[in-house]
């Protein structure tokens, strides 16, 4: 005779948490403002020429080298902190989409940057490079001012023992929804207590042990495979490739490529949550492989006429969209 399964207190708590998040509105203007600022900041600073002010005004090669060092130092900090910060502003059920918004911000900044470069390319003096760099130097100043209006992470406040401040912060993010705030604080407190109990027994190098190695390699594989597969190279230097291929209006096509990339990064996180990672990833990888073969075949045959050049440009556009849904969103 089958016995009836009795839920544990933890299972009941999780079910109650999920049900409440579905019934209650967790977002308001403050959450959207934080996502917008951090998303666009990560997009801006995620580029090689970000933190452009020390490069723009560098008087000599030494200052330029220091500027590049500061550039990558800032990028490394921001690209690690921003996703963590975004994930702590929203409930667990939508964290993937919130972090994905940072990638979408990168796509939006790509469009703006390409349009600025395309417009300034028509200027036949030193303003051709001064204008794009000046804009990149000015926007971080604006984002620096806006960052003072960001809400402190309630999870960080809770980890520092500042419970009242964490509650006030979460109240402002949840529109004073007291039931939702209390539930999230309880969940976070339990998670932090569990983390502190395991902290003394866990060492960072354990991720390299045989039992954990598959998970470690899987988490690091996406970025490495994007480098090896050429997605990052093609995306970064798409204008150069199109120019060398003889494509007419390469800047305009690059704008279309980045618009499709932006659309893909907006759509990707929702597809991943709805259909699952493997369901989206596997068809995406297969399509990318087929597009690679098609582009390589056209290039090997020779871009001898406009039809083949247009075909290559079209493949680049489709490639960017599929890559943004699968690889980038993952």
- CA-nearest of 200, 180, 183 to 27 is 180
- Beta-strand ranges (E) seen in the chain are none
Q: CA-to-CA distance for 85 and 101, rounded, in angstroms?
A: 12
Kindly list the distances between the CA atom of residue 313 and the CA atoms of 68, 132, 215, 291, in Å, as whole numbers in the listed order: 32, 25, 37, 12
In the predicted structure, residue 17 carries a pLDDT above the cut 60 = no
Secondary structure of residue 77 in the 3-state scheme: helix
The 10s digit of each residue's pLDDT in 279-310 is: 888 888 899 889 888 888 888 888 888 888 88
* 59-86 pLDDT tens trace: 666 666 666 666 667 666 776 777 777 7
Residue of higher predicted confidence among 167 and 148: 167
Q: Convert the pLDDT of each residue in 223-261 to its tens digit.
A: 777 777 777 777 777 777 777 777 777 778 888 888 888
pLDDT in tens, 121-157: 888 888 888 888 888 778 777 777 777 777 888 888 8
């Amino acid at each position: 005779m089958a016995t009836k399964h009795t839920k544990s207190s933890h299972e009941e708590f999780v079910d109650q948490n999920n049900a409440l998040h579905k019934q209650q509105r967790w977002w308001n203007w403050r959450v959207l403002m934080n996502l917008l600022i951090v998303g666009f900041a990560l997009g801006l600073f995620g580029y090689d020429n970000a933190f452009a002010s020390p490069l723009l005004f560098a008087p000599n090669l030494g200052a330029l080298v220091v500027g590049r060092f500061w550039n990558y130092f800032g990028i490394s900090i921001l690209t690690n902190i921003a996703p963590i910060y975004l994930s702590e502003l929203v409930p667990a059920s939508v964290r993937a989409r919130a972090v994905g918004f940072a990638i979408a911000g990168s796509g939006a900044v790509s469009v703006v940057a390409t349009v600025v470069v395309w417009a300034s390319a028509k200027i036949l003096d030193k303003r051709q490079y001064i204008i794009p760099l000046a804009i990149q130097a000015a926007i971080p100043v604006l984002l620096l001012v806006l960052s003072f209006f960001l809400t402190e992470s309630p999870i960080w406040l809770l980890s520092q023992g500042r419970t009242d401040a964490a509650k006030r912060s979460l109240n402002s993010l949840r529109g004073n929804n007291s039931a939702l705030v209390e539930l999230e604080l309880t969940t976070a407190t339990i998670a932090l207590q569990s983390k502190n109990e395991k902290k003394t027994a866990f060492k960072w190098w354990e991720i390299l042990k045989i039992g954990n190695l598959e998970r470690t390699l899987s988490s690091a594989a996406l970025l490495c495979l994007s480098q090896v597969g050429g997605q990052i190279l093609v995306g970064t230097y798409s204008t150069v490739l199109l120019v060398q291929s003889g494509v007419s209006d390469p800047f305009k096509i690059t704008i279309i490529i980045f618009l499709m990339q932006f659309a893909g990064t907006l759509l990707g996180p929702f597809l991943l949550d709805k259909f699952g990672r493997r369901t989206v990833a596997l068809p995406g990888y297969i399509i990318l492989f087929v597009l690679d073969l098609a582009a390589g075949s056209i290039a090997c045959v020779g871009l001898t006429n406009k039809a083949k050049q247009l075909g290559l440009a079209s493949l680049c556009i489709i490639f960017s969209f599929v890559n943004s849904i699968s690889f980038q969103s993952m």
